[in-house]
Amino acid sequence: MTLTNKRIVITGGTSGIGLEIVHQLAIDNKVIVIGRNTTILQTLRSQYPLLETHCCDLSRPNDVLTLIDNLSAAHKSVDVLINNAAIQYSKKLTDQDYDRSTIMTEINSNFTAVCLLTHGLLPLLQRAEKGVVLNVNSGLALAPKASSAVYCATKAAMHSFSQSLNHQLKGSNVAVMQAFMPVVATPMTEGRGSNKITAQYAAENLLKGIHHNVTENDIGKVKLLRWLLRLVPSVVKRIMVNA
């Protein structure tokens, strides 16, 4: 798909990879940005006159349902839905100061919202000439680490959801794709990991995947991870535990 003159909805568009995607798409497309930071949303509207923004807390399912109603009332069709927003808590469940309230926040933001938005906007995607659902995933969906257990689980769930939905939509005008990210230099990963790719590089390669209709787009070191999982899965999984 050529990303020109398209109507594109993106979540988490106010920082990290999402913000870079907005910068790369907003000149030539009608971009609808979903985020929580009202200041950045306002700045983006000033920078890109055609941009549309919606403030929404994706950890609150009722707010997501309201967002879907608003988008459905305002638009007859959508060409691309990019489910990019995610949060990650690095604590272990065994830590004494683990906050159990973060469990639902993480699951709702990373997975429930993806399911709700995909279902809710599917009628708009089906009205497009060609629709795309692009789920931004992580290499941790393929091999989880010891910390951030809930985050890893939500990414594994997203992977399964994407594969099942692809089967459901086979033969339709809507394609389901995933972009599997390595560690990216974003506010979410600040202080964690090394040898990170930039958000700009991540966004560029994600968009190339849409352009070339790549169902599972492994970016950066995820290519190596996928290859090693085929050859020496037990070794790779042991290494990834402490990633």
Asked whether residue 127 is assigned to any structural domain, the reply reads yes
Amino acid at 234: S
How confident is the model at residue 180, as a pLDDT?
A: 98
Helix (H, G, I), strand (E, B) or coil at 68: helix
Report, as an integer, the average pLDDT of 123-130: 98
Q: What is the pLDDT of residues 7-61, one digit of tens each?
A: 999 999 999 999 999 999 999 999 999 999 999 999 999 999 899 999 999 999 9
Residues involved in catalysis: 151
Asked whether residue 1 is assigned to any structural domain, the reply reads no
How confident is the model at residue 58, as a pLDDT?
A: 98
Asked whether residue 2 is assigned to any structural domain, the reply reads no
CATH number at residue 207: 3.40.50.720
Determine the length of the chain: 243
Helix (H, G, I), strand (E, B) or coil at 178: strand
Asked whether residue 156 is assigned to any structural domain, the reply reads yes
Domain of residue 17: give its range: 7-241
Asked whether residue 28 is assigned to any structural domain, the reply reads yes
Nearest partner of 25 among 56, 58, 47, judged by Cα: 47
Reported as half-sphere exposure (CB side, CA atoms, 13 A), residue 24 has a value of 19
